[in-house]
Amino acid sequence: MSAMMAIKQYQQVGVQAQVAEATPHRLIQMLMQGGLERLAQAQGALQRGQGALKGELIGKSISIIGGLREALDLGKGGELAANLDALYDYMIARLLEANRVNDPALLEEVSGLLREVKTGWDGIAS
């Protein structure tokens, strides 16, 4: 086993342990952080001309944002949940466009929006 593979397995075990012990509030924080990390990686892949990797990372970002969207309780969340649902839908559309036209500004726009939502979420006491 290569050292890089061992490091990845170690990191995966660490993440799995965090998920197992996390509160629902913390899980959402972890999803948002994962989305931001994938967006930053996609930005780097785009800059390096790694089209396939960029597409894969944008796809992972879309999946994470989709997961955040699915976690919304539109029945109980009222206007706030409805607004977040619309924002997540917008983010996904922008990411699809960013992937199609290779526009780093669109990736940065979505990163900024997700950072703003995460900042608000982080401010909520669990």
CATH of the domain at 85: 1.20.120.340
- pTM for this entry: 0.83
**What pLDDT, on a 0 to 100 scale, did the predictor assign at position 22?**
82
**What pLDDT, on a 0 to 100 scale, did the predictor assign at position 19?**
57
Residue ranges in the chain modelled with pLDDT below 50: 10, 13
Whether residue 45 lies inside any domain: the answer is yes
Give me the number of domains the chain comprises. Answer: 1
Whether residue 7 lies inside any domain: the answer is no
Residue 124 backbone zone (phi > 0: left; psi -120 to 50: alpha; other: beta): beta
Residue 22 backbone zone (phi > 0: left; psi -120 to 50: alpha; other: beta): beta
d(Cα 5, Cα 99) in Å, to the nearest integer? 29
**What pLDDT, on a 0 to 100 scale, did the predictor assign at position 120?**
94
Whether residue 1 lies inside any domain: the answer is no
d(Cα 103, Cα 29) in Å, to the nearest integer? 27
**What pLDDT, on a 0 to 100 scale, did the predictor assign at position 6?**
56
Whole domain around residue 111: which residue ranges? 24-122
Whether residue 3 lies inside any domain: the answer is no
Q: Which two tokens stand for residue 99?
A: 């992937």
- φ, ψ of residue 125 in degrees (nearest 5): -70, 135
Tell me which DSSP letter residue 117 carries. Answer: H
d(Cα 89, Cα 104) in Å, to the nearest integer? 19
